Chain A
Amino acid sequence: MTIKELQTDMNCRAVWNGWEDREVTGAYTSDLLSDVMARSEEGQVLITIQAHKNTVAVAVLKDLSGIITASNRPVPDDMIETARDEEIPVFVTDNNQYETGWRLHELGGF
């Protein structure tokens, strides 16, 4: 599954456009950035309600493929700015974290 496929299949909105498509190798769900730092793996997409520019920093440092902010969490402008600078795709979905993870499992097979 690629990020572009994820966006279409999951029906989520990109907060900025123009990112390069990339492979999504799995998903990780957490709102604790230290936990994401410790346990997420390269290529995974992060499902979180922690919509903050620090989330982008963690995604960059861990080579994550993107961020999905669940439960329609508002994404602050400085987070969008940082995500654009760091070229990290960020999506917003109405689904909660459990639903998002479940759908990703169904669609992406992970």
Chain B
Amino acid sequence: MTNMGQKGSFQSLPQGCELIGDLKISEVMTRNVLAVPRNTTIREAQSIMKENSITGVPVVDSRVVVGIVSMNDIMNALESGRMDDPVTDWMTFEVQALAEEMPLSFAISAFSKYPFRRFPVVNKRNELAGIITFRNINLALIRELSRQLQEKNNLNEHSVDMSSLELVKEYLLSRYDFENGGKASSEIKKFLKGHGIPSRLIRRVAIASYELEINLVAHSDGGMLGFDINADRVVITSHDHGPGIADVDQALTEGFSTANEWIRSLGFGAGIGLPNIKRVSDEFIIQSTLGLGTMIRAVINIHTKDQHNN
């Protein structure tokens, strides 16, 4: 088993980097960024933020960022009854801006290093070019994960022989959709049964895939369960959009669970799902980055001499 989960978002940076590859901040940031001039009042800034459903807006002086005004600053002004002050009286002056040419990993490390939830992005002339939030990074990561999965699937499709036992399939699962949790496992079980795979092996696949399905609906913000089956092995891949696991070792400890009462009332959340998957798998890899998501790969061999006893 490769256990790549780490504590703290700063330490988890290398995995993030691996996944996002060579992406630059400019490819991920929001370009149509709203900015306000120095003489804007707090009240005006507040209504701009409300209308656009944003929680912070950069303050510019002929396109150069001079500060950033956040919901927090507005709350402070409101408390003091000074909503008609210019934003410059309340904004944060020490703005940490990022350059659009920087690799995305710089942005991820900036989020770990500073308490800010958004960073203005500037071009070479130091003018405002965009804004980057965690949401941008999440979206980029999901895009990248899907692309890599697709590439991997394409590769596998070309390398396996044309035997009848072959299936590449993906299932999308949403948070708390317990009604459909189990559907994928059931379909895969029927497929394997139809191809005469020994039931002992099928049950191991069923255990791993069912627990992964339930994990996606119970614990993630939604994600994807992928199956890649050929005559040699069943590969099950699960990847989700977050929230990520703070401590992977702890999550793999039998009995540890973060499940709420409702999940428990449905018969899950006893803290045995992940250890179960690991136990029935011939290969088990888990990668998780807090705030970004979790990827799990479980492989069950069909043709090996030393198969597990279930």
Contacts and interface: CB of A to CB of B under 8 A. Distances in A.
Interface in B238-288: 266-270, 272-273, 276, 279
Contacts of B211: 34, 37
A60 B199 CA distance: 12
Contacts of B270: 32, 34-35
Contact of B267 (A42, A50, A63, A78): A50
Interface of B: 178-179, 181-182, 185-186, 189, 199, 203, 206-207, 210-211, 214, 266-270, 272-273, 276, 279
B182 A57 contact: yes
5 contacts: A32-B270, A33-B267, A52-B266, A62-B207, A86-B186
A61 B203 contact: yes
Nearest to B275: A38
A35 B210 CA distance: 12
Contact of A42 (B199, B268, B269): B199
B178 A37 contact: no
Contacts of B276: 34, 37-38
A19 to B, nearest CB: 18
B184 to A, nearest CB: 11
Contacts of B199: 42, 63
Contacts of A103: none
A50 B263 CA distance: 12
Contacts of A63: 199, 203
State the main secondary structure of chain A at its contact with B.
helix
B210 A57 contact: yes
A87 to B, nearest CB: 13
A34 B186 contact: no
Given A34-B276, A37-B276, A54-B182, A61 B267 contact: no
Contacts of A53: 179
Given A52-B267, A54-B266, A61-B210, A34 B272 contact: yes
A46 B210 CA distance: 18
A109 to B, nearest CB: 24
B178 to A, nearest CB: 6
A98 to B, nearest CB: 19
Query: Nearest 8 A-B pairs (CB), nearest first?
Result: A57-B182, A33-B267, A61-B206, A50-B267, A32-B270, A34-B272, A38-B276, A34-B273
Contact of A34 (B182, B203, B268): B268
